[in-house]
């Protein structure tokens, strides 16, 4: 009896419950093929090879030798992998630190990206250099052969045994996991109603002068009706989300402002926050018809998603995904003819997420 | 020899007939002496423009605006770029080859100019500053026309590509504010020169950064980035996915 034949019997005996037994007869020929390698050409060659190596005949009795540990596993590589993992952990920790101390999202992205790249390189290197790799071509082997199975088991054991700095590698991996987890969890701090008063705190207040991009004061005759310009508060940062205005001059007769905003447009000048209430892009498009009977009416348009606002009636949404009007800033003419703010914005500035359509509660302006 | 003697008078006759014919054509377009360009312009105006702008340029309710006070500036812009005449009132005027000959356009422009309004503006792009022009273009024009002047869309209107716009078109459009474009009278002459210089530059911009990819912005740029990044990723995957041969 060949080992194959024995194993076939073992299998049929062990699994000899209903299913296997029923198909037993049908499988008989198949099993014979599978477990009698001598009958097959490929295995016949292998058999002869094994025989020439001198243990073919006696292998059934001999205990399988212990696996030889492959010395090609590179302790140097292990160190490199560990260092890479530690560097990745530091980068992820950097994300957490910058999240707290800095507002620069570029730094956050850099940390996260660097950490992921380092961790990726580390795992690629570990896969190639640290864990034992062996390429075998698996011909139709004699699966019943105990020795073959032991060989496979040995490969598995080798894979573990070859790594010498297991503790170091695993602890740096754990550090990476912890730091990445912390970096991923950190932005939760930005969720929720923490924005608070920020949307009402803009550089604009009563008496703040309106200037153009170069800092020159805008007066009542800077624009003709039908023109527009980007404006800023005098002496304040242009970077502030509440700073930039889109200033439009319309014919006084075109204005349809709500009654409570009647005095907010001296000389037909109306000012709106340049930040779209949909996704926070700069409202940089203005259309003003030459002939309003056949052409679309005046509108401020955001180039990102084409939210379209009506400058004549307090920035109401004419079209597009914006959920609420463009916040208007009341204006007045100063003593020297220069335009200045008559107060803060009527509505909170900035984009509204989550379907928010209006300001929460009363305006504290 | 006898043959030649016959041919010469025939040739002379033919030449004088064709000269007469040319003369007649010239009269048709307002070039003949004794007729002012205004009167030729008047005839063309009545034929081609009055149905929407009225016989005296006073405008027709619901069809076309009054041309009184628009001046040669606007007339020259709309006619030279073929934006007028429109097929139907209410259509967006876009750049097309003009159905009028240059002399006819001149006659019409001076006729519309006789209603009063600003003359054809001066523009000197060669005096303009390119860097300043780009800054001005970014601030005032790029919102709709895109930074390299390739145009775009706006709810209710197509924003024209400036690829065909010459310096005079730019100077006129900035002042006139055609269709739904606002006018930019706040810009002074030197700023208009800067803008015209920049627009001329955008016709064939230097692509120092690499490929222009049509100069239409982030969508093709993003696609190229994704394709390049995708190939790079594939190579990386291949590299780390392949086992080290022993």
- B32 confidence band (pLDDT: 50, 70, 90): very low
C-alpha span between A218 and A336 (Å, rounded): 11
Instruction: State yes or no: pLDDT of B201 exceeds 90.
Output: yes
- For chain B, which residues make up each domain, given as ranges? 13-120, 122-206
C-alpha span between A302 and A287 (Å, rounded): 11
Q: What pLDDT does residue B95 have? A: 93
**CB-CB: which of B143, B179, B239 is closest to A290?**
B179
Which residues, at least 6 apart from A256, have a Cβ–Cβ distance to it below 8 Å?
A: A312, A313
B179, A289: Cβ pair inside 8 Å? yes
| Mean pLDDT value across residues A166-183 | 90
Domain B122-206: homologous superfamily in CATH: Cytochrome c-like domain (1.10.760.10)
A129 — contact with chain B (CB < 8 Å)? yes
Tell which phi-psi region holds residue A307, choosing left (phi > 0), alpha (psi between -120 and 50) or beta. Answer: beta
Residue A221: φ, ψ to 5°: -110, 20
B139, A135: Cβ pair inside 8 Å? no
SS (H, E, C) A113-182: HHHHHHHHHHHHHHHHHHCCCCCCCCCCCCCCCHHHHHHHHHHHHHHHHCCCCHHHHHHHHHHHHHHHHH
**CB-CB: which of B179, B184, B185 is closest to A295?**
B179
Residue A160 tokens read as 């573990």
Instruction: State yes or no: pLDDT of B30 exceeds 50.
Output: no
The DSSP symbol for B33 reads: T
Instruction: State yes or no: pLDDT of A362 exceeds 80.
Output: no
C-alpha span between A277 and A355 (Å, rounded): 11
C-alpha span between A69 and A135 (Å, rounded): 16
Taking one residue from A and the other from B, the number of pairs with CB-CB distance under 8 angstroms is 94
Q: For chain A, what is the mean pLDDT?
A: 78
Q: How many residues does chain A have?
A: 365
C-alpha span between B133 and B201 (Å, rounded): 10
Tell me whether strands A269-273 and A245-249 are parallel, antiparallel or unpaired: antiparallel
Q: What pLDDT does residue A59 have? A: 46
Among chain B residues, the shortest Cα distance to A307 is held by B155
Q: What pLDDT does residue A147 have? A: 78
Task: Please check whether the two domains, B13-120 and B122-206, share a CATH topology.
Answer: yes
Contacts of B184 in chain A (CB under 8 A): 227
A219 — contact with chain B (CB < 8 Å)? no
Asked whether the beta carbons of A232 and A271 are under 8 A apart, the reply is no
Contacts of A214 in chain B (CB under 8 A): none
**CB-CB: which of A222, A227, A287 is closest to B183?**
A227
A287, B180: Cβ pair inside 8 Å? yes
B122-174 residue pLDDT tens: 999 999 999 999 999 999 999 899 989 999 888 888 999 999 999 999 999 99
Residue percentage of chain B with pLDDT more than 70: 83
From A74's Cα to the closest Cα of chain B, the distance in A is 13
**CB-CB: which of B89, B155, B244 is closest to A294?**
B89
Assigned architecture for domain B13-120: Orthogonal Bundle (1.10)
SS (H, E, C) chain B: CHHHHHHHHHHHHHHHHHHHHHHHHHHHCCCCCCCCHHHHHHHHHHHHCHHHHCCCCCCECCCECCCCCCHHHHHHHHHHCCCCCCCCCCCCCCCCCCCCCHHHHHHHHHHHHCCCCCCCCCCCHHHCCHHHHHHHHHHHCHHHHCCCCCCEEECCEEECCHHHCCHHHHHHHHHHCCCCCCCCCCCCHHHHHHHHHHHHHHCCCCCCCCCCHHHCCHHHHHHHHHHHHHHHHHHHHHHHHCCCCC
**CB-CB: which of B90, B177, B178 is closest to A294?**
B90
Which range (A160-174, B64-78, B169-183) has the least confidence?
A: A160-174
From A155's Cα to the closest Cα of chain B, the distance in A is 15
From A41's Cα to the closest Cα of chain B, the distance in A is 28
Residue ranges, CATH 2.102.10.10, chain A: 210-341
C-alpha span between B57 and B67 (Å, rounded): 5
Q: What pLDDT does residue A109 have? A: 93
- A43 confidence band (pLDDT: 50, 70, 90): very low
**CB-CB: which of A124, A134, A287 is closest to B157?**
A287
Peptide linkage before B85 cis (omega within 30 of 0)? yes
From B64's Cα to the closest Cα of chain A, the distance in A is 7
Residue B238 tokens read as 């291949």
pTM of the model: 0.66
| Mean pLDDT value across residues B104-122 | 92
A152 — contact with chain B (CB < 8 Å)? no
Dihedral of the alpha carbons of B221, B227, B232, B234, in degrees to the nearest 10: 160
Determine the residue among B146, B147, B156 to mutate to test chain A binding: the one whose Cβ has the most chain A Cβ atoms within 10 Å: B156
Q: What pLDDT does residue A196 have? A: 64
Position with higher pLDDT, A4 vs A354: A354
CATH assignment, A210-341? 2.102.10.10
A296, B178: Cβ pair inside 8 Å? no
- B31 confidence band (pLDDT: 50, 70, 90): very low
């Amino acid at each position: 009896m060949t080992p194959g034949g024995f194993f076939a019997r073992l299998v049929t005996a062990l699994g000899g419950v209903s299913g296997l037994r029923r198909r037993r007869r049908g499988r008989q020929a198949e099993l014979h093929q599978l477990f009698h390698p001598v009958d097959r050409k490929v295995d016949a060659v292998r058999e002869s090879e094994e025989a020439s190596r001198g243990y073919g005949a006696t292998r059934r009795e001999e205990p399988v030798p212990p696996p030889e540990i492959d010395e090609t596993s590179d302790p140097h590589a292990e160190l490199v992998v560990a260092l890479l993992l530690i560097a990745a952990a530091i980068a992820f920790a950097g994300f957490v630190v910058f999240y707290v101390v800095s507002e620069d999202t570029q730094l956050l992205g850099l940390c996260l990206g660097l950490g992921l790249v380092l961790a990726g390189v580390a795992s690629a290197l570990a896969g190639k250099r640290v864990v034992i790799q062996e390429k075998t071509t698996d011909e139709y082997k004699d699966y019943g052969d105990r020795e073959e199975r032991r060989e496979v088991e040995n490969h598995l054991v080798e894979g573990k045994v070859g790594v010498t700095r297991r503790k170091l590698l695993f602890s740096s991996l754990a550090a990476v996991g912890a730091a990445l987890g912390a970096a991923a969890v950190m932005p939760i701090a930005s969720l929720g109603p923490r924005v608070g008063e920020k949307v009402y705190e803009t550089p604009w207040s009563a008496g703040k002068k309106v200037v153009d991009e170069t800092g020159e004061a805008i007066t009542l005759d800077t624009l003709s009706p039908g023109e527009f310009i980007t404006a800023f508060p005098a002496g304040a940062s242009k970077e502030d989300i509440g700073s930039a205005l889109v200033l439009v001059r319309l014919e006084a007769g075109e204005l349809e402002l709500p009654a409570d905003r009647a005095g907010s447009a001296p000389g037909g000048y109306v000012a709106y926050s340049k930040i779209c209430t949909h996704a926070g892009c700069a409202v940089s498009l203005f259309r003003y018809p030459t002939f309003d009977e056949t052409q679309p009416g005046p509108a401020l348009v955001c180039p990102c998603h084409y939210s379209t606002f009506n400058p004549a009636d307090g920035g109401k949404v004419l079209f597009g995904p914006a959920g609420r009007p463009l916040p208007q800033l009341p204006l007045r003419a100063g003593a020297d003819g220069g335009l200045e703010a008559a107060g803060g914005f009527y509505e909170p500035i900035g984009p509204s997420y989550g379907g928010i359509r209006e300001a929460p509660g009363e305006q504290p302006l | 020899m006898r043959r030649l003697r016959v041919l010469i008078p025939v040739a002379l006759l033919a030449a004088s007939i064709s000269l007469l014919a040319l003369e007649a054509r010239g009269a048709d377009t307002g070039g003949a002496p004794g007729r002012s360009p205004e009167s030729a312009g008047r005839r063309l105006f009545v034929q081609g423009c009055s149905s929407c702008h009225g016989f005296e340029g006073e405008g027709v309710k619901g069809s076309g605006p009054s041309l009184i006070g628009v001046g040669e500036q606007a007339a020259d812009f709309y006619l030279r770029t073929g934006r007028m005449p429109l097929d139907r009132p209410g259509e967006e005027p876009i750049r097309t080859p003009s159905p009028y000959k240059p002399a006819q356009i001149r006659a019409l422009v001076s006729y519309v100019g006789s209603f009063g309004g600003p003359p054809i503006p001066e523009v000197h792009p060669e005096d303009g500053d390119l860097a300043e022009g780009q800054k001005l273009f970014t601030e005032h024009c790029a919102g709709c026309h895109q930074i390299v002047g390739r145009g775009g869309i706006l709810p209710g209107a197509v924003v024209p590509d400036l690829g065909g716009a010459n310096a005079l078109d730019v100077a006129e459009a900035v002042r006139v504010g055609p269709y739904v474009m606002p006018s930019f009278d706040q810009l002074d002459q030197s700023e208009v020169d800067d803008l015209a210089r920049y627009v001329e530059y955008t016709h064939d911009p230097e692509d120092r950064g690499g490929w222009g990819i049509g100069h239409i912005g982030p969508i093709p740029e993003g696609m190229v980035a994704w394709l390049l990044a995708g190939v790079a990723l594939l190579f990386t995957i291949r590299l780390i996915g392949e086992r080290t041969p022993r």
